[in-house]
Amino acid sequence: DNGHTEDLLQQCLLLQQDELIALESIFPDCVLNSPSSNGALKLQISVQFGDSRSVYISTPGDAGQDETDLVQSVSVTTLPPLEFTITLPNAYPLLEPPKIHSVKATHAWLPEASALSNTLLAMWQLGDNVLYGWIDYLQTGDFLQDLGYISADDQNHINPTSQILASCIAPLLDASPLYESQLVWILSPAGIGSDNATSAILLFVLFANTHGMHGPVTACRLEHRDLVVQEYLAAEENSPEREYLERRYGSVIIKKLVEQHLQDIITQEWIRSSTTTCPGCQTHVQKSEGCNHASLTMSAPSPEIVGQEDIDQCQLLQKEEYEVLESIYPEFISSTTADAILKLEVPVEFSGSKTTLISESTLASITPDDIPQKKATLQVISIDALPPLLLQLTLPPSYPLFKPPEIVSIRAMHTWLPDVSALHPILLEMWQPGDGILYTWIEFIRTGEFLNNLKLLSTANDETILLPHPAPRVIAPLLQGYDESSKSNHFAKNSYPCSICLTSLKGAKCLQLSCGHIFCRSCLEDYWKMCIEEGDISRVVCPDPECVKQAKEAGEEEVARVVTETELQRWKWLRDKRDIERDPTVVHCPVAVCQTAIPKPQDMDPDSDAESSWNRLRQCPKCGFSFCAFCRRTWHGPLDKCPIAQYEEIALEYLAAEEGSQTRVTLEKRFGRANIRRLVATYEEEKANLQWLEQSTMMCPGCRCHVEKTLGCNHVDDVLEMQDALLLQMWDST
């Protein structure tokens, strides 16, 4: 015990137990197991922000370009969880800190998750119960700044490992004072969603405290846009000021803003000179024909017509409707009655799985038979839910009796919906005077009925969604990730009975296996750990009786979610050892200091009759030695034959076994049926030749050549000896 007294260690044990009880009561979803003595503690911590963060996904352009190709803009309140495996030493927390064995980020969203270990250990002080502080530190996202993923100044604060991408994010880091807020950027693994393996995707999480969030289609705020354009036009052509603005925002974007600004000036001048403002609704009217009399027609009465009594009734109806929505959909509403804007976040949830076809171009009617022809440009996924639509609404004083809700904006998370603005008129057409429409809108979106109105369902099959998107390989994993997260959240909220301990626990304390059966993590952990320790990995299966009969073993991901990293490595080693022992095609490397087990090539079919001498080639993955699987010598090519002594032993073993015996089957699987047959045929041919030579020929006593008499007497002259004698005489004469 490192010299610590028993009383001190007993005090540490009591402090550990009190801390674990407190953690399980405060963070029940974070603590995945209750460790036994010297057992590992597993933590799963989600990063939760206090408000929504705008996520901009962009890809860096070619070398030498300053522009950044903006792909999409999304809104997040959480980031995928971080998974920790730690153990508590006997002297923790008085004298030793917790030991961190592994740190992993779900979906690998954090490039340097392992760097968190040193940061967390630095937070511990002697006698400090640090686990609560760790969880709170990770949940709030404060660790992002300590790891260098938050910059509040300029590009000099970029993580040094990604300086090559500084030109891509410089315009965002060097933003206007209107955007002076922290910027979080996360570098994903190279090549995600791109054909170019050297490209990378940057996820910029902008703390939108001033401007809110908008997608790439929505225009920027007019005030900021006009300030930029005026500053650009005031500068001289090719001046440093213009070059700075072009580098800061991108030359293409600046040119588009200038063109739009000039077009707005022309439009405003035309409206001022060619139209008249209606005194009632302030709409600009242009006379085309007829007299100068104009009638004002509106679908609802103006505020002057609606009385105060009607307004009070509308306010009461709005309050009642809000209370009903808040009781039915508490997770969909992210604002209060005091807010001027009502924010709704409505996910799309299907009753069953739907096949989603994602293509770069607009999809017309398509059938399953068309998928193979379009496979190169299609991403086919199966999902139960789609990311939510974000609606911002304002309720006029005369709603719902006289006016519909005013839709400020509609956005789709991950911008998965190609033309979300087309949903605006569809929703407004559903309203009728006096109708509280918000519940109908939510159900219309939640059930996915709007997809049919937007013509996003296949005409051949209503269960198939046709989704055009400019980057199918980017959006497909995002949709799948959201679908998995939605299922996980739904699973964690419900309670499930464990058929082992016969108790009912929340999904956060349970694990659903691929077969669909659910068990609590504690029971599954004890059972699988015992099997791994005993070396009986064939029992690391679903404990349900039906699955035990089928003997379908658990996958690596399932085992990793239950046992520790050390036990996982032992399970993998035992599994590989068993597979090698069962596989008759395995050949060991002939190098004495290596002896690595090498399986047959994946493209080699042991039941094929096709003859290929290349099937004998093996290359050791550890030492790189290439050799022949038959003779175990250095690879001699497909044309050169193995030495007779080597393949004769294999042929004799094959011929000695009975037809259809296990020995013959094993040899055919190891070397290939065609190779074995060719080997046996060669051996039998050589054997027949030797028998004929022994029976029909006589060996010359001089040169040992076999000679056969065809005619004449029994006298034979050895031509080789005569030639040798002649050559000897010629050599003597010289």
* Whether residue 610 is found in the same domain as residue 673: yes
In a domain, 118, yes or no: yes
How confident is the model over 361-391, as pLDDT tens digits?
A: 655 545 555 555 555 568 899 999 999 999 9
Q: List, as one string, the DSSP characters of 265-314.
A: HHHHHHHHHH-EE-TTT--EE---SS-S------SS--TTTS-HHHHHHH
pLDDT of 355 higher than 60: yes
Cβ atoms 589, 598 nearer than 8 A = yes
The residue-averaged pLDDT of 516-527 equals: 91
CATH number for 128: 3.10.110.10
How confident is the model over 402-442, as pLDDT tens digits?
A: 889 999 889 888 888 878 888 999 999 999 888 889 999 99
Structure tokens at 181: 């807020």
Highest averaged pLDDT of the listed ranges 44-53, 252-261, 546-555: 546-555
pLDDT of 222 higher than 70: no
According to DSSP, the β-strands at 41-60 and 68-87 are antiparallel
Task: Say which amino acid occupies 462.
Answer: D
**Helix or strand (DSSP H, E) at 50:** strand 41-60
How confident is the model over 117-156, as pLDDT tens digits?
A: 888 888 888 888 888 888 888 888 788 777 766 544 433 3
Residue in the block written with tokens 């959006």: 475
The residue-averaged pLDDT of 158-177 equals: 34
In a domain, 128, yes or no: yes
* Whether residue 102 is found in the same domain as residue 147: yes
pLDDT of 530 higher than 90: yes
* Whether residue 567 is found in the same domain as residue 501: yes
Highest averaged pLDDT of the listed ranges 52-56, 160-164, 518-522: 518-522
pLDDT of 20 higher than 50: yes
Distance, in Å, from the CA atom of 109 to the CA atom of 73, rounded to the nearest integer, reads: 17
Q: Residues of the chain with pLDDT > 70: what percent?
A: 72
Distance, in Å, from the CA atom of 40 to the CA atom of 101, rounded to the nearest integer, reads: 9
Backbone angles phi, psi at 397, to 5 degrees: -60, -30
Distance, in Å, from the CA atom of 691 to the CA atom of 697, rounded to the nearest integer, reads: 10
pLDDT of residue 721: 60
In a domain, 147, yes or no: yes
- Please say which residue of 461, 489, 517 terminates a domain: 489
pLDDT of residue 132: 85
What's the Cα-to-Cα distance from 661 to each of 457, 584, 609, 647, 680, rounded to whole Å?
57, 14, 19, 20, 16
In a domain, 326, yes or no: no
Residue in the block written with tokens 């989603």: 356
In a domain, 624, yes or no: yes
DSSP 498: -
Distance of CA 138 to the CA centre of its chain: 22
> Which residues have C-beta within 8 Å of that of residue 540, sequence separation ≥ 6?
528, 531, 532, 553, 554, 559, 571
Q: List, as one string, the DSSP characters of 424-444.
A: HHHHHHT--TT---HHHHHHH
**Helix or strand (DSSP H, E) at 571:** helix 565-582
Distance, in Å, from the CA atom of 149 to the CA atom of 207, rounded to the nearest integer, reads: 13
More confident residue, 218 or 614: 614
pLDDT of residue 720: 62
How confident is the model over 627-675, as pLDDT tens digits?
A: 988 777 888 888 887 775 566 777 788 888 888 788 888 777 777 777 7
In a domain, 89, yes or no: yes
* Whether residue 471 is found in the same domain as residue 567: no
Average confidence score pLDDT of the chain = 74
More confident residue, 201 or 718: 718
- Of the CA atoms within 13 Å of residue 132, those in its CB half-sphere come to 13
Cβ atoms 422, 345 nearer than 8 A = no
Handedness of CA 499, 504, 510, 512 (dihedral sign): positive
Buried b (16+ CB within 10 A) or exposed e, 615-651: bbbbebeeeebebbbbbeeebbeeeeebeeeebbebb
Q: Please confirm whether the linkage preceding 425 is cis (ω < 30° from 0).
A: no
Collapsed DSSP state (helix, strand, coil) of residue 128: coil
Structure tokens at 240: 């440093």
In a domain, 276, yes or no: no
* Whether residue 7 is found in the same domain as residue 53: yes
Backbone angles phi, psi at 515, to 5 degrees: -80, -10
* Whether residue 668 is found in the same domain as residue 537: no
Cβ neighbours around 126 below 10 Å, total: 9
What's the Cα-to-Cα distance from 224 to each of 219, 628, 699, rounded to whole Å?
11, 72, 106
* Whether residue 485 is found in the same domain as residue 498: no
Cβ atoms 323, 361 nearer than 8 A = no
Cβ atoms 621, 595 nearer than 8 A = no
Collapsed DSSP state (helix, strand, coil) of residue 167: helix
- Please say which residue of 553, 581, 609 terminates a domain: 581
What's the Cα-to-Cα distance from 204 to each of 53, 78, 392, 703, rounded to whole Å?
10, 14, 23, 87
pLDDT of 444 higher than 90: yes
* Whether residue 553 is found in the same domain as residue 469: no
The residue-averaged pLDDT of 388-404 equals: 89
How confident is the model over 566-590, as pLDDT tens digits?
A: 999 999 999 888 888 887 778 889 8
Structure tokens at 272: 């001022």
pLDDT of residue 580: 82
How confident is the model over 66-98, as pLDDT tens digits?
A: 444 444 445 667 778 888 888 888 888 888 888
pLDDT of residue 405: 92
pLDDT of residue 38: 52
pLDDT of residue 388: 92
The residue-averaged pLDDT of 535-547 equals: 90
Q: Which of 658, 631, 629 is nearest to 642 (CA)?
A: 631
pLDDT of 211 higher than 50: no
pLDDT of 477 higher than 70: yes
pLDDT of residue 292: 62
pLDDT of residue 26: 81
- Residue ranges making up the domain that contains 143: 2-60+70-172
According to DSSP, the β-strands at 99-105 and 150-151 are unpaired
- Residues belonging to the chain: 734
More confident residue, 606 or 77: 77
Distance, in Å, from the CA atom of 673 to the CA atom of 637, rounded to the nearest integer, reads: 20
Distance, in Å, from the CA atom of 110 to the CA atom of 551, rounded to the nearest integer, reads: 37
Sorting pLDDT into bands at 50, 70 and 90, what band is 37?
very low
Cβ atoms 103, 134 nearer than 8 A = no
Cβ atoms 57, 71 nearer than 8 A = yes
* Whether residue 468 is found in the same domain as residue 447: yes
Helix extents (H) in 641-701: 644-656, 662-671, 673-696
In a domain, 706, yes or no: no
- Please say which residue of 539, 557, 581 terminates a domain: 581
Q: Please confirm whether the linkage preceding 621 is cis (ω < 30° from 0).
A: no
DSSP 494: S
Highest averaged pLDDT of the listed ranges 209-218, 548-557, 605-614, 710-719: 548-557
Q: List, as one string, the DSSP characters of 13-40.
A: HHHHHHHHHHHHHH-TTTB-----TT--
**Helix or strand (DSSP H, E) at 9:** helix 6-26
Cβ atoms 188, 200 nearer than 8 A = yes
* Number of domains within the chain: 4
How confident is the model over 481-500, as pLDDT tens digits?
A: 888 888 888 888 889 999 89
* Whether residue 613 is found in the same domain as residue 557: no
* Whether residue 448 is found in the same domain as residue 403: yes
* Whether residue 158 is found in the same domain as residue 46: yes
Highest averaged pLDDT of the listed ranges 36-45, 275-284, 531-540, 719-728: 531-540
Distance, in Å, from the CA atom of 355 to the CA atom of 175, rounded to the nearest integer, reads: 41
